[in-house]
Chains A and B, each alone.
Chain A
Amino acid sequence: MSIQKVWGSVRGDASHLEEQYDKIYRYCYFKLRQRELAEDITQETFLRCFSQGGCQGNVYELRYLYTVARNLCIDEYRKKKALLLQGEEVIEDIGAEERMLSGVALKIALSELEEEERELLLLRYVNEVPVGVICKIWKISRYALYRKVQKALRKLETALED
């Protein structure tokens, strides 16, 4: 197991930082479905982590990055809801949904999962966030996480078979 996985953190050199940026951006995009907004939130996440001591030296704490990104995305949901209540139009990235969920059977199968399950698969298998870090972000036990992952994978396989 690499040091990165043990510490749940990532070295702050250029390639690692870029990789981490891409992962956080992908996560934000998954949450918000708007390219520019997702990028703004990603950058805000890094800046907040930096200013609030979420990085030591040039090492960014994974848990901190994902928690800040998640909270910022939730804030955006709330803002969006408030705007919708006021009757204002929210401009969405046209075709974003199609880009995310079009074509392949897997994308259709994914759309049948719950939002939380999709998020879990993204974090665990696409962004490769260590189990311990996800447990801390979601504030659940390892066992509970294991159950959720297994349930999501079973549902995905069933949807693919159908």
Chain B
Amino acid sequence: MRIGKERKRELEKAFEAPKPMNKKAFLAQLPKAQIGYREFMFYQIAYMPKRVWLISASIFGISLYGAWFMQRSMIWAISAMMPFAALTVTTENARSAAYGMEELEMAARFSLRSIVLARLGVLGIFHLLLLILLVCVGNRDNAYTLLQSGIYLTVPYLATTFFGLAVSRKVHGKEAIYICMGIAVTVSGFYGIAGRTIEIAYQSAYFGWWLAAFFAFALGLASEYHKIIRQTEELAWNL
């Protein structure tokens, strides 16, 4: 036996209680549980699209496969995959703007700034863990030192993230995502082609340049994060 909508409405009326007197005042005073930063970050994992995790895991999975079974000369190929992992970070950052939800999310209880920072943080930690695993696996045959492997793989990742975040900060809408994709493909193509043709770049003599690039992009990335925070603050004040 099922109950119809009409009967349901009648039941609601039948069980109607007199209006509460102190509801507003009580709810205004009701203590709100403070959410911890770690808990907040944990909650954000559930709100991130599954494809972000799947793409990241697939890219690192393929890279791990390459690092495990291939020879030392594969480092250029693996590093050419990294920009696509970085692409998930930049597109996640540009997602709200792409769908025109930026201003609304800034006005929400958990502002866009804290959400973006938490998501980038979560994704960054996830990628860092996978990168460490990749470096350890890729370094099995001791072709390079751990530091060298780490730097060779991190530089394209940092470069893509840096350029991608810079673009998503300046360009709004879906164009930002397309440009980020273009950047990822360009960086990946550069590492794919240049890594093959200029193998000399991976020799220890040129490692200083790699280190310089690493620090330059890392500093640039930190500066981009800072600018993103400032930008969301400014826009929030304009609301």
Contact = CB atoms under 8 A, between A and B. Distances in A.
Given A21-B23, A43-B26, A99-B16, 19 more contacts: A13-B109, A17-B27, A21-B20, A21-B26, A22-B20, A25-B23, A26-B15, A39-B20, A43-B22, A47-B30, A55-B33, A58-B33, A96-B18, A104-B13, A104-B14, A106-B11, A106-B13, A122-B11, A125-B11
Contacts of A58: 32-33, 35
Contacts of A8: none
Contact of A30 (B12, B15, B109): B15
9 contacts: A12-B33, A21-B26, A25-B20, A43-B26, A93-B18, A106-B7, A106-B10, A154-B1, A157-B1
A100 B39 CA distance: 44
Nearest to B17: A29
Interface of A: 12-14, 17-18, 21-22, 25-26, 29-30, 35-36, 38-39, 42-43, 46-47, 50, 55-58, 93, 96, 99-101, 104, 106-107, 110, 121-122, 125-126, 150, 153-154, 157
Contacts of B27: 14, 17-18, 21
Contact of B15 (A42, A43, A100): A100
Contacts of A43: 22, 26
Nearest to A47: B30
Contacts, number: 88
Nearest to A127: B15
B8 to A, nearest CB: 5
A125 B3 contact: yes
A117 to B, nearest CB: 12
Contacts of B22: 39, 43
Nearest to A39: B20
Nearest to B18: A35
Interface residues of B, number: 27
Contacts of B11: 106, 121-122, 125-126
B126 interface: no
Contact of A153 (B3, B15, B26): B3
Interface string B26-46: 110011110100010001000
Contacts of B7: 106
Nearest to B23: A21
B14 A107 contact: yes
Contacts of A26: 15-17
Given A104-B13, A126-B15, A39 B21 contact: yes
A86 to B, nearest CB: 29
A110 B7 CA distance: 12
Given A43-B26, A125-B8, A12 B32 contact: yes
Contact of B30 (A46, A104, A154): A46
A36 B21 contact: yes
B18 A99 contact: yes
